């Protein structure tokens, strides 16, 4: 029996793997996840009297027990599976490592079958094992864990980053790359590959191909690897009184988000409640106007009218799974309040929204929306009666009610782990956009991305899928209001010395402030961009030069809004109009034939009053 054999999967997977030579490598005896050896209940007797605690702390077992723990699976309960798996798989895999490495060196892409190989890869120091379970006779080609067919949460699979190993969660992207390179090989590595009977392999690949059509889950490594520090920015600057709830959140969010239960529910709600995937629309008329081929990522079509629902829903679900009965949130313009109220209404969670008194008057319609969905709006009457005062009141509430209450933060800001959590929930934007663009543009990547930056959540959500792609230029657009020199603006990355690194509301980043560190007043016609601080990851991306930040004034944004409305029949939110205005500037620097994606973070309905006031003089027909 040959150890390595070439299999013909072209019939089944021609679409997904054209031109790839596919090898399979059998690792006989390395382990089996077919059930028998690993089914804890079936083998209970064999484990009576075993010192579980000693086993759990054994150096060869502890890492795996930790993986289980992180994934929300109790390792004590599943210890027989873990231990059995380790003993059988790890040891034998180790003996095969030189050979595995030799083969891996000869191919460009590796797909791993079964949990067992994960152990082998880990021992080999091969990075990023990810599973493609090719073992099944049935239809459940889920990634599997030690417990028979119990799905392994994705976070468990991704140990380290790797370019070579194909993941079920990133396979779609990498396959595009792989298949464009005609010399690419794909190695299927696993103990349960059939002796040249490739039917299950075919079936698996077919199923994977099918699944790929449904879109992949955002990679959880983006979550695990984030924060608390983004070089000098970020951190967790909190009062001692806030320490217990923040610690609780830090301990639990990764575990919960990585769990299969959370992922299933969240993905389902994104699809059926939010209406994802949102389209990626080629806007030909607008493209002609600005001179580059432009796609819009249509977050304006998400439920409640903007990207904010992705995060609100994710965190509300997280709150529920943490056992919290009550959610509080702050809101400035009201958009985050609306999204949070909607998520809480859906999940049956009590909801309180803090809002500055002045903002409540300016955004009366959103106050009504929030109340209609059953949430309470509490006026913040201190300070300037705007967003930062609302945040202060919300934090006070959190301290007082931490046992029952979850604080649902609305942008990629605040103390760790909020920037990581919000980035993760918004990364669905970038993941979808990347796939959609590749499907429409023959597997290519866009030349540039443009997004507006308030706190930075819609921008980081779009950027996240492309940060590792050096050929994709990233542009964030800040609100220049009436111009930097007037002082009436929200430019945190300006040159005028009004913004420096500082700590505000839990994290360090660029903050508009005066010489004494007093927080500066901000202005933008777009309420969502009117905030004195920018998210810490943007500060890092800016300092490292990976992303570029430019700005658009009130007037420029309004003009861009009118342009898109007229030539495409799409009325953007005033925030998103800043991205459009920024893109017009970016387009001038891009080479002929460039293709870009602009994040259309929201729709303009909420801004109609402002727009009407500012444009009435020229627009009213006589």
**Short-list 503, 433, 420, CA closest to 472:** 433
Handedness of CA 368, 314, 332, 350 (dihedral sign): positive
Report the nearest approach of ligand PLP to the CB of residue 368 (Å).
Answer: 17
- Could you confirm whether 308 is annotated as catalytic? yes
Report the nearest approach of ligand PLP to the CB of residue 308 (Å).
Answer: 5
The number of beta carbons lying within 10 Å of the beta carbon of residue 544 is 10
Report the nearest approach of ligand PLP to the CB of residue 183 (Å).
Answer: 41
Note whether 186 and 178 are within 8 A (CB).
Answer: yes
User: What would the two tokens of residue 219 be?
Assistant: 């990679």
Task: Compose the 316-335 pattern: x for residues touching ligand PLP by CB under 6 A, - for all others.
Answer: -------------------x
Cβ closest to ligand PLP, residue 32 vs residue 411: 411
Part of the chain binding ligand PLP (CB under 6 A), chosen from 71-79, 142-150, 203-211, 573-581: 573-581
Report the nearest approach of ligand PLP to the CB of residue 306 (Å).
Answer: 4
**Short-list 40, 153, 29, CA closest to 93:** 29
Cβ closest to ligand PLP, residue 414 vs residue 528: 528
Dihedrals φ, ψ of 543, to 5°? -65, -35
The answer to the question of residue 575 lying near ligand PLP (CB under 6 A) is: yes
Cβ closest to ligand PLP, residue 456 vs residue 582: 456
The answer to the question of residue 153 lying near ligand PLP (CB under 6 A) is: no
User: Residue 105's Cα: distance from chain center in Å?
Assistant: 31
Q: Do strands 376-380 and 350-356 pair parallel, antiparallel, or not at all (unpaired)?
A: parallel
Distance separating alpha carbons of residues 518 and 525, to the nearest angstrom: 23
User: What would the two tokens of residue 193 be?
Assistant: 């590959």
Distance separating alpha carbons of residues 512 and 500, to the nearest angstrom: 7
Cβ closest to ligand PLP, residue 71 vs residue 598: 598
The answer to the question of residue 505 lying near ligand PLP (CB under 6 A) is: no
**Short-list 456, 452, 462, 464, CA closest to 557:** 452
Cβ closest to ligand PLP, residue 417 vs residue 528: 528
**Short-list 488, 462, 484, 490, CA closest to 578:** 490
Cα distances from 563 to residues 48, 306, 312, in angstroms, run: 73, 20, 31
User: Residue 364's Cα: distance from chain center in Å?
Assistant: 32
Part of the chain binding ligand PLP (CB under 6 A), chosen from 67-75, 164-172, 512-520, 569-577: 569-577
Report the nearest approach of ligand PLP to the CB of residue 603 (Å).
Answer: 8
Cβ closest to ligand PLP, residue 554 vs residue 575: 575
Residue with tokens 């949990």: 115
Cβ closest to ligand PLP, residue 458 vs residue 505: 458
- According to CB under 6 A, which residues from 426 to 455 bind ligand PLP? 452-455
Q: Do strands 229-230 and 233-234 pair parallel, antiparallel, or not at all (unpaired)?
A: antiparallel
Task: Compose the 402-421 pattern: x for residues touching ligand PLP by CB under 6 A, - for all others.
Answer: ---------x----------
Distance separating alpha carbons of residues 423 and 463, to the nearest angstrom: 10
Helices marked H in 545-592: 554-568, 574-589
The answer to the question of residue 509 lying near ligand PLP (CB under 6 A) is: no
- Could you confirm whether 601 is annotated as catalytic? yes
Catalytic residue of the set 490, 553, 601, 606? 601
Pick from 373, 573, 590, 597: which binds ligand PLP (CB under 6 A)?
Answer: 573
Report the nearest approach of ligand PLP to the CB of residue 600 (Å).
Answer: 8
Cβ closest to ligand PLP, residue 321 vs residue 557: 557
Pick from 31, 227, 415, 602: which binds ligand PLP (CB under 6 A)?
Answer: 602
DSSP category for residue 49: T
Cα distances from 365 to residues 30, 360, 591, 603, in angstroms, run: 63, 9, 44, 15
Report the nearest approach of ligand PLP to the CB of residue 373 (Å).
Answer: 17
Cα distances from 232 to residues 163, 185, 224, 382, 494, in angstroms, run: 28, 41, 19, 31, 18
Pick from 32, 263, 457, 490: which binds ligand PLP (CB under 6 A)?
Answer: 457
Part of the chain binding ligand PLP (CB under 6 A), chosen from 215-223, 226-234, 436-444, 570-578: 570-578
Distance separating alpha carbons of residues 490 and 513, to the nearest angstrom: 11
Pick from 306, 395, 429, 438: which binds ligand PLP (CB under 6 A)?
Answer: 306
Report the nearest approach of ligand PLP to the CB of residue 33 (Å).
Answer: 42
Catalytic residue of the set 308, 324, 388, 606? 308
Mind giving me the DSSP string for 167-221?
Answer: -TTTHHHHHHHHHHSTT-EEEEEETT--SS--HHHHHHHHHHHHHHHH-PPPPTH
DSSP category for residue 608: H
Q: How many residues bind ligand PLP (CB under 6 A)?
A: 19
Cβ closest to ligand PLP, residue 55 vs residue 525: 525
Cβ closest to ligand PLP, residue 80 vs residue 332: 332
Cβ closest to ligand PLP, residue 65 vs residue 507: 507
Catalytic residue of the set 221, 330, 478, 556? 330
Report the nearest approach of ligand PLP to the CB of residue 390 (Å).
Answer: 14
DSSP category for residue 325: -
**In the bound complex, which residue of the shown chain has the CB atom lying closest to ligand PLP?**
602
- According to CB under 6 A, which residues from 225 to 284 bind ligand PLP? none
The number of beta carbons lying within 10 Å of the beta carbon of residue 99 is 14
Task: Compose the 522-561 pattern: x for residues touching ligand PLP by CB under 6 A, - for all others.
Answer: ------xx--------------------------------
Report the nearest approach of ligand PLP to the CB of residue 36 (Å).
Answer: 51
Report the nearest approach of ligand PLP to the CB of residue 299 (Å).
Answer: 7
Part of the chain binding ligand PLP (CB under 6 A), chosen from 271-279, 462-470, 503-511, 568-576: 568-576
Pairs from 487-494 (Cβ < 8 Å, separation ≥ 24): 487/521, 488/521, 488/523, 489/522, 489/523, 489/524, 489/551, 490/454, 490/522, 490/523, 490/524, 490/529, 490/530, 490/531, 490/532, 491/551, 492/532, 492/533, 492/534, 493/534, 493/542, 493/549, 494/551
Distance separating alpha carbons of residues 193 and 33, to the nearest angstrom: 12
- Could you confirm whether 293 is annotated as catalytic? no
| 66 sits in which H/E element | helix 62-70
- According to CB under 6 A, which residues from 458 to 477 bind ligand PLP? 458-459
The answer to the question of residue 456 lying near ligand PLP (CB under 6 A) is: yes
Residues that bind ligand PLP (CB under 6 A): 306, 308, 335, 411, 452-459, 528-529, 573, 575-576, 601-602
Positions marked catalytic? 308, 330, 601
């Amino acid at each position: 029996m040959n150890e390595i054999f070439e299999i013909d999967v072209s019939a089944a997977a021609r679409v997904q793997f054209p031109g790839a030579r596919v090898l399979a490598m059998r690792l006989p005896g390395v382990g089996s996840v077919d059930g028998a050896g690993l089914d804890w209940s079936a083998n209970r007797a064999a484990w009576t009297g075993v010192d579980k605690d000693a086993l759990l702390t054994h150096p060869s077992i502890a890492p795996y027990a930790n993986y289980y723990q992180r994934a929300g699976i109790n390792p004590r309960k599943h210890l027989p599976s873990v231990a059995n798996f380790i003993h059988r798989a790890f040891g034998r895999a180790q003996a095969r490592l030189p050979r595995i490495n030799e083969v891996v060196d000869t191919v460009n892409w590796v797909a791993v079958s079964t949990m067992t190989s994960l152990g082998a890869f880990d021992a080999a120091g091969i990075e990023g094992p990810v599973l493609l379970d090719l073992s099944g006779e049935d239809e459940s080609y889920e990634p599997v864990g030690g417990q028979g067919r119990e799905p392994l949460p994705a976070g468990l699979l991704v140990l380290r980053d790797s370019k070579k190993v194909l993941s079920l969660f990133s396979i779609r992207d990498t396959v595009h790359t792989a298949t464009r390179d005609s010399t690419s090989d794909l190695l299927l590595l696993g103990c349960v590959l059939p002796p040249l009977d490739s039917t299950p392999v075919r079936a698996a690949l077919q199923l994977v191909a099918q699944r790929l059509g449904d879109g992949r889950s955002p990679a959880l490594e983006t979550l695990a690897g984030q924060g608390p520090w983004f070089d000098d920015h970020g951190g967790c600057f909190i009062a001692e009184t806030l320490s217990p709830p923040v610690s609780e959140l830090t301990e639990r969010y990764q575990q919960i988000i990585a769990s299969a239960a959370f992922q299933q529910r969240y993905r389902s709600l994104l699809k059926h409640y939010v209406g994802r995937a949102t389209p990626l629309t080629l806007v030909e008329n607008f493209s002609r106007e600005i001179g580059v081929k432009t796609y819009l990522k249509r977050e304006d079509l998400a439920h409640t009218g903007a990207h904010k629902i992705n995060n609100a829903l994710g965190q509300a679900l997280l709150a529920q799974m943490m056992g919290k009965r009550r959610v509080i949130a702050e809101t400035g313009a009201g958009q985050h309040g609306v999204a949070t109220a909607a998520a809480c209404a859906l999940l049956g969670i009590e909801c309180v929204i803090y809002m500055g008194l002045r903002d409540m008057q300016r955004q009366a319609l959103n106050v009504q929306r929030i109340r209609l969905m059953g949430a309470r709006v509490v006026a913040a009457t201190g300070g300037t009666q705007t967003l930062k005062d609302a945040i202060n009141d919300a934090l006070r509430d959190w301290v007082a009610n931490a046992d029952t209450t979850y604080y649902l933060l609305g942008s990629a800001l605040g103390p760790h782990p909020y920037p990581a959590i919000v980035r993760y929930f918004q990364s669905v934007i970038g993941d979808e956009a990347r796939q959609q663009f590749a499907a429409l543009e023959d597997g290519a990547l866009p030349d540039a991305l443009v997004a507006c930056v308030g706190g930075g959540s819609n921008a980081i959500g779009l950027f996240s899928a492309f940060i590792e792609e050096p050929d994709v230029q990233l542009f964030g657009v800040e609100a220049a209001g009436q111009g930097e020199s007037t002082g009436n603006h929200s430019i945190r990355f300006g040159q005028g010395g009004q913004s420096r690194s500082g700590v505000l509301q839990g994290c360090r980043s660029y903050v508009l402030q005066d010489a004494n560190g007093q927080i500066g007043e901000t202005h933008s016609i777009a309420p969502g961009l009117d905030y004195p601080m920018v998210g810490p990851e943007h500060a890092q991306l800016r300092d490292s030069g990976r992303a570029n930040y430019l700005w658009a004034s009130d007037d420029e944004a309004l003009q861009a809004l009118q342009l898109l409305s007229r030539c495409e029949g799409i009325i953007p939110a005033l925030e998103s109009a800043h991205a459009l205005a920024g893109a017009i500037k970016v387009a001038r620097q891009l080479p002929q034939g460039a293709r870009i994606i602009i994040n259309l973070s929201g729709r303009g309905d909420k801004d109609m009053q402002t727009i009407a006031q500012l444009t009435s003089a020229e627009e009213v027909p006589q």
